[in-house]
Structure 1
Amino acid sequence: MTEKFPIEEVRAHFPALQISDKDQVFPIYFDGPGGTQMTQPCIDRMLEYITTGMANLHGTFSTSEKTDRLLEEAKWAVADLLNCSAEEVACGQNMTSLAFQVSQSLRKYLEQGDEIIVTQLDHRANVDPWIHLAKETGATVKFIPVDKEKLVLNTEKLDKLITEKTKLVAIGISSNLTGTVTNVKPIFDLAKKVGALTIVDAVHAVPHFSVDFQELDCDILFCSAYKFFGPHLGIAVIKKELFEELPVAKLQPAPNEIPYKLETGTQNHEAIAGLCGAIHFIESLGTGERRRHRLISGMEAIEAHEQVLVSKLENFLKEIPEVTLYRASENVKKTPTFSFRIKGIHSREATEFFAKKYNLCIADGHFYASTMAEVFPVMESGGWIRIGFAPYNTLEEIEVFKKALKDLIAMKL
Structure 2
Amino acid sequence: MRTPEWVKQIRSEFPALGQVIEGRIPVFLDGPGGSQVPRRVIEAMARAMVEANANTHGAFPTSRRVDAGIMEARRAAADLIGASPEEIVFGPNMTTLTFQISRAIGRRLRPGDEIVVTRLDHDANVAPWLALAEQGAVIRWVDFHVEDGTLDLEGLARVLSERTRVVAVGYASNALGTVNPVRRIVEMAHAVGAWVYVDAVHAAPHLFIDVRELGCDFLVCSAYKFFGPHVGFLYGRMERLRALQPYKVRPAPDHPPEAFETGTQNHEGLAGLTAAVEYLADIGRRFGTPTDPSRRAAIRAAMEKIREHERDLCARLLEGLEELPGVMVYGIRSMARWAERVPTVSFRISGRHPREAAEALGREGIYVWDGNFYAQGVTERLGLEGQGGLVRVGALHYNTLEEIDRLLEALRRLVRERI
Shorter-chain TM-score: what band?
Answer: over 0.9
Q: Distance in 2 between matches of 1:382 and 1:398?
A: 24
**Using the alignment, how far apart are the partners of 2:282 and 2:213 within structure 1?**
24
Which of residues 247, 256, 260 is equivalent to 2:258? Answer: 260
Q: Which runs of 5+ in 1 are unaligned?
A: none
339, 360, 364: which is aligned to 2:366?
Answer: 360
Q: TM-score, normalised by structure 1?
A: 0.97
4+ residue stretches of structure 1 with deviation over 3 A?
1-5
- Alignment size in residue pairs: 410
Aligned to 2:10: 10
1:187 is aligned, of 185, 197, 210, to 185
User: Is the contact made by 1:77 and 1:276 (CA closer than 8 Å) also made in structure 2?
Assistant: yes
Q: Give the drift of 1:190.
A: 1.9
1:307 equivalenced with 2:305 (yes/no)? no
Contact 2:143 2:155 in 1 (8 A): no
Unaligned ranges ≥5, structure 2: none
| CA deviation profile, 1:38-62 (whole Å, cap 9, x unmatched) | 1111111101111224110111111
Task: Give 2:358's aligned amino acid.
Answer: T
Residues in 2 aligned to 1:100 and 1:3: alpha-carbon distance in whole angstroms? 41
> 2:327 maps to which residue?
323
Displacement of 1:327 in angstroms is 2.0
TM-score (norm 2): 0.95
Which residue is equivalent to 1:294?
298
CA contact (8 A) 1:2 1:304 kept: no
Which residue identity lines up with residue 147 of structure 2 in the other structure? E
| 1:73-117 residue CA offsets vs partner (Å, 9 max, x unmatched) | 000011111000100001101100110011110013321111111
Q: CA RMSD in A?
A: 1.3
Aligned to 1:336: 343
For 1:106, what is the secondary structure of its paired residue?
helix
Could you tell me how far 1:148 is from its partner in structure 2?
1.1
2:64 is the counterpart of 1:65: yes
1:48-127 equivalences under 5 Å are 48-127=47-126
Aligned to 1:138: 136
Tell which deviates more after alignment, 67-76 or 256-265. Answer: 256-265
| Equivalence for 1:172 | 170
Q: Which amino acid aligns with 1:228?
A: F
Q: Distance in 1 between matches of 2:150 and 2:265?
A: 37
- Given that 2:145 and 2:151 are in contact with CA atoms closer than 8 Å, whether structure 1 keeps it comes out as yes
Q: Does 1:395 align with 2:394?
A: no
CA contact (8 A) 1:116 1:130 kept: yes
Aligned identity (percent) is 42
Deviations for 1:366-412, whole angstroms, at most 9, x for unmatched residues? 00110111111113431100000111100111111111101111122
CA distance in 2: counterparts of 1:3 and 1:410, whole angstroms: 28
User: In 1, Cα distance between the equivalents of 2:361 and 2:3?
Assistant: 30
Distance 1:275 1:231 in 2: 6
Q: Distance in 2 between matches of 1:247 and 1:2?
A: 53
Distance 2:247 2:115 in 1: 22
Secondary structure of the structure 1 residue equivalent to 2:414: helix
The residue that corresponds to 2:389 in the other structure is: 383
